[in-house]
Amino acid sequence: MTVVAHELKASYAFIERNFFLTRRYWGWELAFLVYSVAGALSISLIGADQGSPTLLLTLMVGAIFWNYLSVVFSWIAETISVERWEGTLEYTMMAPIRRSSQLLGSVLYAMVYGLVHTTVILIALILFFPQVDLSGADPVTAVAFMLLGSFSFVGIGMIAAILPLLYVERGAQMTFVLQSCLLLVSGVYYSVDILPGWMQVLSHLSPATYVLHGVRAGLIDGAPVSAVLGDVWPLIVMGAVLIPFGLWAFGRAERYAKRTGKLKRVG
């Protein structure tokens, strides 16, 4: 058995386990899906109410893509906190696998789950707003930004996943706060230009800002990827920096937790 095959098997272990969890908690999954669809609809209805097709589309894009990014973020960020909650963290940390395989498994599951979840919302919105005209849209741009965005959100998710290793309880709370702040500064439902100056600085640090800007350009203005390169390169840079940094920081955090006895909960 080669090393790579062994590690891919380990990644698959996390994918399969997360799938089992989703299947067992199907009631919650359904409730969460209904909540997300209702949320996306109510926000988009503001656009319909104003009688502005552009506003409607802007809000729809915001609701759908923010949903995708936050779902991906949550699954990755909760990799550790879920296991701490169940008490299985020590067993997983003892297993002969690389952290990168563990995170890769979480990331792949998060992306597939996010895609399924978001597709359901997309279908619901299209059925609800038949007046929306996407004939001039460039879907390639939208997909490209979704993939690029996943890349950098994976990095942020990893860093968020570390927090529960460092702070037994506060970690999960901090993750929650981080996610809310990203929503606030990334121009999900409005242009970041209306934010106060200091918040705009933060907007530039959030990958979601570029994803939403790029997707809107593609779906509303029909811009090809080549027309929005200004939004592409920050995402590539962020992904390329955040993912290796996240892995490195994860290793450091694990070492810290093992030195201070933070992995244990009972026994």
Query: Which two three-digit tokens encode residue 177?
Result: 């706060």
Kindly tell me which of 7 and 221 has the beta carbon lying closer to another protein. 7
Q: Residue 170: name its binding partner from ligand ATP, another protein, none (Cβ under 5 to 8 Å by kind).
A: none
Angle between helices 26-49 and 99-128 (to 10 degrees): 50
CB of 29 or CB of 90, closer to ligand ATP: 90
String marking each residue 92-131 x if it binds another protein according to CB under 8 A: xxxxxx----------------------------------
Map 147-215 to HEC letters: HHHHHHHHHHHHHHHHHHHHCCCHHHHHHHHHHHHHHHHCCCCCCHHHCCHHHHHHHHHCHHHHHHHHH
User: What are the backbone angles phi and psi of residue 265, rounded to the nearest 5°?
Assistant: -120, -50
Give the interface size with another protein as a residue count (CB under 8 A).
Answer: 32
Residue 9: contacted member of ligand ATP, another protein, none (CB under 5 to 8 Å, by partner type): another protein
Q: Which two tokens stand for residue 3?
A: 């090393």
65 within 8 A of 211, measured Cβ to Cβ? yes
Q: Of these, 127, 133, 226, 259, which contacts another protein (CB under 8 A)?
A: 259
Nearer to another protein, 30 or 181 (CB): 30
| Least CB distance to ligand ATP at residue 87 (A) | 14
Query: What DSSP assignment string belongs to 14-65?
Result: HHHHHHHHHHHTHHHHHHHHHHHHHHHHHHHHHHHHTT-HHHHHHHHHHHHH
Site for another protein in 16-35 (CB under 8 A): 16-17, 20-21, 24-25
Q: What is the nearest approach in angstroms of ligand ATP to the Cβ of residue 241?
A: 33
Q: Which is nearer to another protein, 83 or 138 (CB)?
A: 83
Q: Which is nearer to another protein, 5 or 194 (CB)?
A: 5
Residue 261 found at the interface with ligand ATP (CB under 6 A)? yes
Closest C-alpha to 118, from 17, 39, 219: 39
Q: Determine which residue in the list 9, 255, 258, 264 makes contact with ligand ATP, applying CB under 6 A.
A: 264
Between the alpha carbon of residue 38 and those of residues 32, 69, 88, 125, the distances in Å are: 10, 18, 34, 10
Q: Give the interface with ligand ATP as residue ranges (CB under 6 A).
A: 261, 264
Binding positions for another protein, rule: CB under 8 A: 1, 6, 9-10, 12-13, 16-17, 20-21, 24-25, 86-88, 90-97, 255, 258-261, 263-264, 266-267
